[in-house]
Amino acid sequence: SSFNFKGATQQAKVGDLSGGQRNRVHLAKVLKKGANVLLLDEPTNDLDTETLAALEDALEDFAGCAVVISHDRMFMDRLATHMLAFEGNSHVEWFEGNFEDYEKDKIRRLGADAANPRRIKYKPLTR
Tens-digit pLDDT profile for residues 39-98: 999 988 878 887 888 889 888 988 889 999 999 999 999 999 999 998 877 889 999 999
94 within a domain of the structure (yes/no): yes
The model carries a pTM of 0.72
C-alpha to C-alpha distances, 3 to 37, 64, 88, 90, nearest whole angstrom: 20, 20, 36, 38
Q: What is the DSSP code (8-state) at residue 114?
A: G
In a domain, residue 9? The reply is: yes
Task: Identify whether residues 48 and 103 lie together within a single domain.
Answer: no
- One domain, residues 58 and 92: no
Q: Which domain holds residue 39?
A: 1-71
Helix 19-32 crosses helix 49-61 at what angle (to 10 degrees)?
Answer: 10
Residues 56 and 98 in one domain: no
pLDDT of residue 83: 94
How many structural domains is the chain composed of?
2
Residue 1 has pLDDT above 70, yes or no: no
Q: What is the mean pLDDT of residues 15-23?
A: 80
- Residue 121, domain member (yes or no): no
The answer to whether residues 96 and 67 belong to one domain is no
Helix H or strand E encompassing 102: helix 99-110
pLDDT band of residue 22 (cuts 50, 70, 90) is confident
Q: Examine the domain organization and report whether 87 and 106 are in the same domain.
A: yes
Q: How far apart are CA 23 and CA 30, in angstroms?
A: 11
CB 24 within 8 A of CB 4: yes
